[in-house]
Amino acid sequence: MIKKLCCSVVFVLLLVLRTAAADDDPVFGDVYGEEGGSPGFIEGKAWKEQRLVLPAYPDTTSRDLIKVDLQLNQFPFTLYIDPASLSVGKDRVVRYTAILRSRSGAMNIFYEGMRCSTGRFRRYAFGGPDGFQVSEHSRWKYIRGGTGVSDSYLAVLRDHFICPSPPPGKPAAILRRLRTPNPDNFFYDEDE
């Protein structure tokens, strides 16, 4: 009992000392000037998503589709990206058409966006018999990873192919990474 009490007192003491030191710490201090301590801080513009413009519906038999080597052993689909749909918007969202093909040949087609700065994605539209159908309840969601998750390909895309995203209007670096069919792509170190 005394040992637990002593540990609790030490923990609280360390917490108090850390809080007191935070005022002078450039990482934990008053970075945003909320306490009037940073008069030079100027808040930037709030992020605003650009208007949705759907790309052409992909030809799922085209040889131009990029087969992405995800290296996910238990993932039941093969992922293809339509290079004609890949873009980096002024809002820094990377948008692309993803085609997930099962072993039996069934396909799921999505038009998605990914924000590297927040680790989120959004499904704008789903493929249907008449082309893209805009999702009525599309919203930004955090990318989950791990085994057994049907969207685990998103974490691999984020970590190894899409992020860091290049400047708006310049998707060439992402296309190059997507087309690299070897494990070394998972350890890229580019200055882009």
Note if the bond before 166 is cis, omega within 30 degrees.
Answer: no
DSSP-assigned letters across all residues of 38-82 = -TT----PPP-PPPP---PPP-TT-TTSEEE----TT--EEEEEE
Interatomic CA distance for residues 175 and 132, integer angstroms: 23
Task: Tell me: pLDDT of 121 over 90.
Answer: yes
**Can you point out the beta strands (E) in 19-93?**
66-68, 77-88
Q: Of 160, 165, 166, which Cα lies nearest the Cα of 181?
A: 160
* 33-90 pLDDT per residue, tens: 445 555 666 667 888 999 999 999 999 999 999 999 888 878 889 999 999 999 999 9
* 155-166 pLDDT per residue, tens: 999 988 998 888
Provide the 3-class DSSP secondary structure of residue 132.
strand
How far is residue 94 CA from its own chain's centroid?
9
**Overall pTM > 0.75:** no
Are residues 19 and 28 in contact, defined by beta-carbon separation less than 8 angstroms?
A: no
Q: What percent of the chain has pLDDT over 70?
A: 69
Which structure tokens are listed for 11?
């923990």
Interatomic CA distance for residues 161 and 171, integer angstroms: 11
Q: How many other CB atoms are there within 10 angstroms of residue 35's CB atom? A: 9
